[in-house]
């Protein structure tokens, strides 16, 4: 998606450890107009898949998921990173390793909100090593629901997550795919990347 790529080049900052800082428009301060364009693109890609739920993970994916859910006219579920008092009853749970935060944690979704009849589209801000996406897809599988695929804002194609999950049969549509971030410069994939 050219609009997102242009915004990454204009406002994104490459930090040590292959971290792309896009918090001024994507995952801290949010550009809702940009999110609307991204949501329309996700809808174009998945409009014929009868999506009934959007699933994301707290916290960075929630904004994009909510705007996308407006276009699909369906609810959003976000996997929580800790069980709180307001989650009553049984839950689905999965372990996720965070590339950005460098730790492992459990993610939780109440069984009340994820049913076998659901057709689930996962939406997230980043795909790097694939742990969050793998954990979210496990929740969908545990619920007996149908995983339609995943819509990702930014994929770091130089990391293995996307290739690994695609080889397992997951449909992943990324709006911006980064080939490299060497010397602090973002280079996007052309036809040579998946």
pLDDT (mean) for 167-176: 96
Hey, what CATH class is 2-188 in?
alpha beta
Is the pLDDT score of 194 beyond 70? no
Share the mean pLDDT of the chain. 90
pLDDT given at position 89: 66
Distance CA 83, CA 99 (A): 21
Q: Which of 81-85, 107-111, 183-187 has the lowest mean pLDDT?
A: 81-85
Is the pLDDT score of 37 beyond 80? yes
Domain residue spans in the chain? 2-188
pLDDT tens for each residue of 13-25? 888 877 888 888 9
pLDDT given at position 97: 81
8 Å CB contact between 153 and 132: no
pLDDT given at position 85: 55
> SS3 for 22?
coil
**Angle at Cα 35 formed by Cα 34 and Cα 41, nearest 5°?**
95
pLDDT tens for each residue of 84-129? 655 656 888 888 886 666 678 888 999 999 999 999 999 999 998 8
Instruction: Spell out where 22-118 has E strands.
Output: 53-57, 76-79, 91-98, 103-110
What crossing angle do the helices spanning 2-11 and 32-46 adopt, rounded to 10°? 150
Distance CA 184, CA 182 (A): 5
What crossing angle do the helices spanning 32-46 and 62-72 adopt, rounded to 10°? 50
């Amino acid at each position: 998606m050219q609009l997102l790529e242009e915004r990454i080049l204009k406002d994104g900052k490459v930090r040590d450890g292959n971290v792309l800082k896009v918090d001024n428009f994507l995952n801290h301060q949010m550009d809702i107009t940009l999110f609307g364009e991204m949501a329309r693109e996700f809808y174009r890609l998945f409009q014929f898949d009868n999506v009934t739920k959007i699933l994301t993970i707290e916290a960075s994916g929630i904004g994009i998921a909510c705007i996308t859910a407006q276009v699909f006219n369906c609810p959003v579920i976000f996997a929580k990173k800790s069980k709180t008092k307001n989650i009553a009853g049984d839950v689905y749970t999965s372990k996720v390793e965070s590339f950005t935060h460098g730790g492992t944690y459990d993610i939780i979704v109440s069984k009340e909100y994820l049913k076998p009849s659901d057709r689930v589209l996962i939406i997230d801000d980043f795909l790097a090593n694939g742990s969050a996406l793998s954990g979210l897809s496990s929740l969908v599988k545990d619920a007996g629901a149908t995983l339609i695929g995943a819509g990702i804002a930014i994929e770091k194609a130089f990391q293995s997550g996307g290739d690994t999950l695609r080889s397992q049969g997951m449909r992943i549509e990324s709006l911006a795919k980064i080939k490299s971030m060497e010397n602090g410069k973002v280079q996007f994939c052309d036809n040579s990347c998946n």
